[in-house]
Structure 1
Amino acid sequence: MELQDDDVRFDNAYYFILKPAGKIAITDIISRQSATLRVYPNEPTFTYTTTNAAAISDSRVANSDLVLLQELPRINAGLRTQLVQFVRRGGKLVITPAADGAAKSDYQQLFADLGLATVRFQVKATPMEPRELAIPSRQHPFFRDVFAEQTRQPDMPKAVPLLTWSRATTDIMTFRDGEAFLSGFSSGRGTVYVFAAPFNASYSTFQDNALFVPVLYRLATMSYEAMHAPAYRLTERAIEFQQGREEEGREAVYKLVSDSATYVPTQQQQGGQLVLQVPTAMQQAGFYALTLNDKPVTTLAFNLDKRESELACYSLAELQQMTAGRSNLHVYDASNAQTLAAQFQQQSIGTSLWRYCLALALLGLLGEVLVLRFGRQQTQAKEAVAA
């Protein structure tokens, strides 16, 4: 009997894809000069364009990563529809209010369409005094890695809030009394960032403060979303990633191609997101080209399940419990002083009796020899006496 324990082998290859980030497309919808004109054009990471409400097009909004809406005197129904659809598809929208009383109803309608029911204009009988903003928390995810070590308290800007709200998804900057100055609201698949005051000297000094540039840059960088994850698992039921805007609404047949193997996954488009069901026939890890109507779109990386490298083992009691009632399965205790071969022999064959049989046979032969020898001598002696 021979027992052989093969070495454990693992798949040590992990496939992933890293692609350089593209430029962040920013569209600034303004009706007058704004401080943002001095922020974004100086950074090559951004593709910054300005426009007014009358000249904005559907494609301009749809192809943007971040849209800024600043102090518009009017927001017509067409622009409002474009902005709502942009946010619901996953876009990021920044809104600064207009002080013009005629624009308030348009802004309120836009807030309502975006699902921001708690955002309201302040109702004050007398002019409000500027209020100082609180120092942002370094622990807030928005400001992580933004501030360097400082030896003195920073000078904080002041603002006269035109907007107020009771709750938001996240409060980024607040006044000293706790009222929000900049907050983010989830809307559909996207996010709406709302400033309580516009960027002009009559209502705020924020645009002249050292915080203005890093906050605007942070809003822009947070708007970028990679098309897909670096890697996926073959055991995932479905994968979801950002669909190219030029591909939306098209009659699409997506395929996953690896060498000579081609798979057609079940696919579904959901508001700019593409959901693909991972085919069960896909069992080989590696790189797969995603094609749309036989034209390459991107490359996806798939890996085996993490459990493939699981090193945990069952205890003796667990194995005995798992094999209970199965007569064809036997569990042997490797910690026993007795060898596995001996355990197998004892359990499968039982106690060996051949040694005892052999000894009895030999004893029988010995008895027979003795009987024959001594019996012949006695016979010869009797014959001699008789003679």
Structure 2
Amino acid sequence: MAKIGALRESAAGERRVSVTPETVKKFIGLGAEVAVEAGAGEGASIADAAFAEAGARVATRAEVISGADILLGVQGPDPASLSGVKPGAWLAAALNPFGERARVDAYAAAGIEALAMEFMPRITRAQSMDILSSQSNLSGYKAVLDAAGEYGRAFPMMMTAAGTVSAARLFVMGVGVAGLQAIATGRRLGAQVSATDVRSATREQIQSLGAKPIFVENVAGIEGEGSGGYATEMSAEYQKAQAELVSSHIARQDIVITTALIPGRPAPRLISDAQIATMRPGSVIVDLAVEAGGNVEGAVPGEVVVRHGVKIVGHRNVPSRLAADASALFARNHFNFLSAFWDKEKGVPVLDEEIGDAIRLTKDGKVVNPRLLG
């Protein structure tokens, strides 16, 4: 019988949890034994009693770790907090391999098989396991709500006897999962929405949501379409043309939401201080990439700052601001991942090469992932 342990998150401000009563029941249905660290669900409004009722054993951290075959987390735990872990035990979480390389090395030294859930390949059969998609979806939604809270004006057009209130103008930069959800949410709130991306394939997606696409036309050297649907760096010519287009467009916007990320690299700079200065006072920019260096000049992680009368929102860990829903989706990603490879005869999951090699960072005391060795 496989023993699965869910750890209480220790990262500052992290309110999510890696399992829910729903997934506990499903894991037990597979034949696993589940232990949950006491208090793990508090930030997501899940009481220990709910885990116990679902069939989990609520225990201390040491008891959860002891004998566990698989440890589940949201963010990668401090290796020093995993004393007593069984050699060869799996650790599945968002491990930030590029930003926390020393921690990855420590997992290897401890004999842990570390599985980075954010390295899940973007293939059809892995969609239900993809934490980046599930969490980014909530980030895009929350970004619009955060913008609305800071904006100080109405989003939809309102016609009253006292006069008409114009609809807010919302511009989304970066049309991945978060960007698409931001577009949809802005439209639902009644804003006039426009969007841009370096990948030309997103034009139809933008239009399908009722927003206006803003694209550089007839410029050679675009390198925007990367592997797995991610964006890559743009050519110098494209960067110049995009900066000119964005500058003229952004000056007329009330709200801008930036979502651009390139895996393994600092977030690309999309908005300069000079461009911010062209926006009218009271406008709002939400930088969803602030923790990766930021898309917006002057954005500060964890703060709302004002530059040229424009509010720049740089909240950290946006999915955790919707902890209950984010936990439910993250937990299902975990279950979908492990259950897809569950060997009923052995009573444990057995990874295949395609997904296993993509997400496995460490094994047998060594760092083995090609993306960290190249």
Tell me if both proteins adopt one fold, taking TM over 0.5 as the criterion.
Answer: no
Give the structure, 1 or 2, with the largest relative contact order (CA under 8 Å, sep 6 or more).
Answer: 2
- TM category (shorter chain) comes to under 0.3
User: Which structure has greater helix proportion?
Assistant: 2
Q: Which of the two has higher C-alpha Rg?
A: 1
TM-score by length of 2: 0.27
User: Which structure has greater strand proportion?
Assistant: 1
